[in-house]
Amino acid sequence: MGSELYDTERDAVVWGLSNPRWLLKAWTAPGGLSPLHLTPDEREGRLGRIRARRLLRTPAWSPVLRGVEPYTKLVRTVTMSVAAPEAVLEFPYDWRLPVATNARFLAEAAREHLERWRGHPAHTAARAHRVDEREGRLVFVAHSMGGLLTLAALSNGPDGDLARDTRGVLTLGTPFQGAVAATVILNTGQGAPVPLPHGRLRRLALTMPGLHDLLPTYPCLDEGMNVRRLTPVDIADLGGDKDLALESQAFHDRLRGRTLPGHRTVVGISQRTMQSLALRDGIVVPFEHCYRQHRDGELMRDADGAPRRFDVAGDGTVHKESASPTRATVPFALQHGTLAKGEAAMEAVTSFLEEDEHLGPTQAAAGLGLQVPDFVTPDTDWTLRVHGADSPAGLECTVEEVGAEAGFRTRAALYGDEDDLAARVTVPASGLYRVTLDSGDGTPLTQLVLAGPDGLTHEG
CA distances (Å), 426 to each of 1, 171, 437, in order?
A: 28, 36, 17
Longest dimension (CA), the chain: 68
Question: Under DSSP, is residue 386 helix (H, G, I), strand (E, B) or coil?
Answer: strand
- The reported pLDDT for the residue numbered 443 is 77
Report d(CA 449, CA 447) in Å as an integer. 7
Residue 366: its pLDDT value, please? Answer: 54
Q: What is the pLDDT of residue 359?
A: 41
Architecture of domain 369-459: Sandwich (2.60)
Domain ranges of the chain: 1-367, 369-459
Listed in sequence order, the DSSP H helices in 238-354 are 242-255, 343-353
State the pLDDT at residue 290: 96
pLDDT of residue 158: 87
| Type of residue numbered 5 | L
Q: What is the CA radius of gyration of the chain?
A: 22
Helix, strand or coil, per DSSP, at residue 191: coil
Residue 286, classified by CB atoms within 10 Å of its CB into exposed (0-12), middle (13-18) or buried (19+), is middle
Q: Give the count of beta carbons closer than 10 Å to the beta carbon of residue 176.
A: 21
* Sequence-ordered strand ranges (E) for 42-200: 50-55, 60-62, 66-68, 138-143, 166-172, 194-195
The answer to whether residues 117 and 130 touch, using CB atoms and an 8 Å cutoff, is no
- Cα distances (angstroms) measured from residue 330 to each of 77, 265, 267: 17, 6, 6
DSSP code of 69?
-
| Rounded distance between C-alpha atoms, residue 119 and residue 124, angstroms | 8
For residue 91, give the nearest of 133, 138, 21, 44 by alpha carbon: 138
Residue 47 and residue 93: Cα distance in Å, rounded?
A: 12
Burial (Cβ within 10 Å: 0-12, 13-18, ≥19) of residue 311: middle
pLDDT at 358: 39
Q: How far apart (Å, rounded) are the C-alpha atoms in residues 21 and 82?
A: 37
pLDDT of residue 365: 44
CA distance 375 to 452: 7
Residue pLDDT tens, the chain, 460 long: 999 999 999 999 999 987 777 888 888 888 889 999 999 999 999 999 999 999 998 899 888 887 888 999 999 999 999 999 999 999 999 999 999 999 999 999 999 999 999 999 999 999 888 778 889 999 999 999 999 999 999 998 888 899 999 999 999 999 999 999 999 999 986 655 556 788 888 999 999 999 999 999 999 999 999 999 999 999 999 999 999 999 999 999 999 999 999 999 999 999 999 999 999 999 999 999 999 999 898 999 999 999 999 999 999 999 999 999 887 788 888 888 888 887 878 888 888 887 644 344 333 345 789 999 989 999 999 999 999 888 898 899 999 999 867 789 999 999 987 778 999 999 999 999 999 999 887 778 999 999 988 755 555 4
Q: How remote is the C-alpha of 446 from its chain's centroid?
A: 14
- Of the candidates 439, 319, 424, 446, the residue with the CA atom closest to the CA atom of residue 390: 439
Q: What span, in angstroms and rounded, lies between the C-alpha atoms of 273 and 392?
A: 23
**What does the pLDDT read at residue 295?**
87
Q: Which helix (H) or strand (E) holds 187?
A: helix 180-187
- pLDDT given at position 193: 56
For residue 169, give the amino acid letter.
V
